[in-house]
């Protein structure tokens, strides 16, 4: 009998997303909606491809973000007992990769460990390899085999799952190992959307990569058409104040727009 609707199962992995969103709205994040002129950087990446070296734009952005966070480690620090910050020597970035699980496309994070000391080329290969990893319905993070308690997580009531997350987030070293100290999601690369999306995260800092849109820009008193990247950045105000955040954003803008770290070694 046709009732005018049908039911579709939600992939089990999405349950973790629901819980992260519930906790993410409790974080004291400041949202920054930014535009970056990536015209010259994309030209350099295209030139490398013509010469046989394929570095993805996303991988290069990961490298730039990791390098800038290494310069401003307090932005990627976790709050420790509300009295101290715990700053890590390396930047481990949780990067969302879309995977097909039983016919459903689901964003699954891969943790790019020590992204600050890897080249853009190494990160590009690591991200590409992660797309080919076979994933079971119980796994939460790519390249990290789910333990028995993690597999049982999906069968627990919601309030218990969220309580587990709260306990985990109070253990910075454990969280850093499991999901890094920064996150990047790149929804905008799927299509051309002239705008920003406000994502949620439990990380101290996270980046939402939007679309690249051609826009008129004033350069040396002349209007030119440039390629502009939209990006949303969430920064935890509990771990960094406004002035240090602005210095971080200034460095990020400088390195993105100048094409830093595009080198292959």
Beta carbons of 63 and 112 less than 8 angstroms apart? no
Mean pLDDT value of segment 30-41: 94
Kindly report, residue by residue over 63-74, the tens digit of the pLDDT.
999 999 999 999
Beta carbons of 211 and 58 less than 8 angstroms apart? no
In a 13 Å sphere around the CA of 110, the CA atoms on its Cβ side amount to 23
pLDDT value of position 2: 62
pLDDT value of position 157: 86
Kindly report, residue by residue over 77-118, the tens digit of the pLDDT.
998 877 889 999 999 999 988 776 666 667 788 899 999 999
Higher pLDDT, 44 or 3: 44
pLDDT value of position 113: 95
* CA-based nearest residue to 58, from 95, 27, 92: 95
* Domain locations in the chain as residue ranges: 29-134+172-258
pLDDT at residue 139 greater than cutoff 60: no
pLDDT value of position 145: 57
pLDDT value of position 96: 85
Mean pLDDT value of segment 156-177: 86
Higher pLDDT, 264 or 158: 158
Mean pLDDT value of segment 151-157: 79
**Mean pLDDT over each residue of the chain, to the nearest integer:** 85
Architecture of domain 29-134+172-258 in this structure: 2-Layer Sandwich (3.30)
pLDDT value of position 35: 96
pLDDT value of position 130: 84
What percentage of the chain has pLDDT greater than the value 90?
A: 49
Q: Residue 101 burial (CB < 10 Å; 0-12/13-18/19+)? A: middle
Q: What length is written for the chain?
A: 265
**E-assigned strands of the chain?**
29-37, 78-80, 84-86, 93-101, 104-112, 182-185, 205-219, 222-236
pLDDT value of position 142: 46
* DSSP code at position 10: P
Q: Give residue for tokens 């990769």.
A: 97
Q: How many angstroms separate the CA atoms of 224 and 216, rounded?
A: 5
pLDDT band at 255 (very low <50, low <70, confident <90, very high): very high
Helix axes 14-24, 158-169, angle to 10 degrees: 60
Phi, psi of 115 (to 5 degrees): -60, -25
The string of DSSP codes covering 177-236 is HHH-SEEEE-GGGGS--SS------SSSEEEEEEEEEEEEEEETTEEEEEEEEEEEEEEE
Most confident of the ranges 46-50, 66-70, 136-140, 192-196: 66-70
Q: Burial code of 25-37, b = ≥16 C-beta within 10 A, e = fewer? A: eebebeebebbbb
Higher pLDDT, 140 or 220: 220
pLDDT band at 148 (very low <50, low <70, confident <90, very high): low
Q: Burial code of 175-204, b = ≥16 C-beta within 10 A, e = fewer? A: bbebbbbbbbbbbbeeeeeeebeebbbbbb
């Amino acid at each position: 009998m046709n009732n005018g609707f049908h039911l579709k199962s939600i992939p089990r992995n999405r349950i973790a997303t629901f819980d992260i969103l519930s906790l993410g709205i409790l974080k004291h994040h400041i949202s920054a909606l930014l535009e970056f002129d990536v015209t010259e950087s994309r030209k350099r990446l295209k030139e490398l491809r013509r010469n046989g070296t394929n570095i993805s734009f996303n991988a290069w952005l990961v490298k730039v973000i990791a390098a800038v966070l290494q310069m401003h480690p307090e932005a990627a620090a976790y709050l420790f007992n509300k009295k101290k910050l715990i700053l890590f020597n390396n930047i481990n970035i949780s990067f969302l990769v879309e995977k097909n699980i039983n016919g459903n496309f689901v964003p699954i994070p891969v943790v790019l460990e020590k992204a600050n000391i890897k080249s853009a080329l190494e990160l590009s290969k690591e991200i590409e390899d992660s797309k080919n990893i076979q994933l079971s319905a119980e796994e939460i993070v790519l390249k990290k085999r789910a333990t028995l308690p993690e597999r049982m997580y999906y069968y627990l009531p919601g309030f218990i799952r969220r309580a587990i997350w709260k306990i985990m987030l109070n253990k910075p070293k454990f969280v850093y190992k499991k999901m890094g100290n920064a996150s990047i999601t790149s929804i905008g690369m799927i299509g051309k959307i002239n705008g920003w999306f406000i994502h949620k995260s439990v990380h101290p800092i996270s980046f939402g990569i939007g679309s690249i849109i051609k826009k008129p820009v004033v350069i040396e008193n002349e209007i030119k058409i440039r390629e502009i990247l939209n990006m949303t950045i969430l920064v935890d105000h509990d771990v960094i104040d406004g002035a240090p955040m602005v210095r971080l954003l200034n460095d990020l803008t400088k390195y993105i727009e100048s094409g830093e770290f595009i080198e292959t070694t």
